[in-house]
Each structure stands twice: as structure tokens, then as C-alpha cells.
Structure 1
């Protein structure tokens, strides 16, 4: 089954900073926009940043332990192919991005082995990017 692009709208309290982050740091192409929101091509998906007051999850992070790290909740992101994930990790590291969880291999040598990294946008929204060398491991137990 072919995957359909998702649409996700998230709150940002600093539209200009978030626009720069998604457009320049990630290199996402900008689509439609207004004075209060901006569409981005987020790795083939539609991400919309909407200007809104600061939300509780943007002020203080909640996390759950996973593989010895504190994973921020809520978070969103995409699963990339391995080479795209590696290129993104290098791009973000070259821009001296502050990571919540630095790029690393999670569950190394186990079922579900994956590359992952977590970071925050300028408005405190948590993002995760991951990759699998073997996509059949995506939902493996």
C-alpha cells in the first residue's frame, strides 16, 4: 500500500523564527501562507505552522524513558531512508543544532534497530527523525 502524505498543523508563538527554522535549517519548501500561518513541504508531507499563544508542552517538557534516553512527549517527525537521515543529521550538526537526543542508533543489534535524533523547534515543539536499514523492522516486536 502506498503511503499518503499526512497533514499536521502545529502551534508556534514566534512565526518568523519557526518559518526560518523549517525553511532554512531544514530546507523545507514553503507553500501557501498568510500573516498567521505557513505551509511547508515537510519531506513530502504538509506541515502547517500556525501562530498561537505558547502552549503548556512548549514551556516545560514531559518525557518517557526509551533506550536509556528521555524522549519528549508530545513529538512528531518522519521516518526517512537511511542516507537521507544521515545527510539530515550532518546538516543539523553543521548548523550546531541543539539536540534533545543526539543522533544515534537505538536498539542496536536488536529487533527494531533504528537511527534516531530528537530536537526542538524555536517554539518548543519536539521533533524526531528516524530511519531503518530494514523497513520491515518498523513495527517488528
Structure 2
């Protein structure tokens, strides 16, 4: 599979480091005060601090359920 790169907004970098680093087991790469890179099984995920983006109202519905925009999904083996 060709590796992908995804940059996405987050409201809190410390919470994001815990989730991707400890829960999912992603290696933490380069970082600064406003962003951090993760290695997700060979793919680069870049979390960028954007507190205001997390407060934006959702404008999407899937099967009648409001989902946050933007969002992404990853299919992983158990």
C-alpha cells in the first residue's frame, strides 16, 4: 500500500499525543509547540493545534446522525 500523509486539526496536543502515542501505539516523530507527527503503520499523521476548529459546528449527517467535519477513518487489523 502506498503511504499516505494526513494533516488534521486538534484542540489539545497533549491529549492527541496520549491517544496516538499510547492508545494506538504510534511512534511520535517531529513536533513543535503547534504540531506533532505520528507514524501510523508507515503513514504520516500530522496533528496541528487549532482549538477553534474543534468548536466549529458540524454540518454533516450520515444515516441521520450528525458527524463532525472534518473526520477520517482508518481500517486496522485487530
Q: TM-score range by the shorter chain?
A: 0.7 to 0.9
Which has a greater percent of strand? 1
Which has a greater percent of helix? 1
Unaligned runs of 5+ in 2: none
Return closer, same or farther for 1:29/1:54 CA change in 2, 3 Å cut-off.
same
Unaligned runs of 5+ in 1: 88-141
Bigger relative contact order, structure 1 or 2 (CA pairs below 8 A, ≥6 apart): 2
Q: Aligned to 2:15, which of 14, 17, 26? A: 17
Length-normalised TM-score, structure 2: 0.76
Structure number with larger C-alpha Rg: 1
Shift in Å, 1:42: 1.5
Cα pair 1:12 1:54 within 8 Å, conserved: no
Q: How many residues were matched structurally?
A: 75
Length-normalised TM-score, structure 1: 0.46
RMSD across aligned C-alpha pairs, in angstroms? 2.0
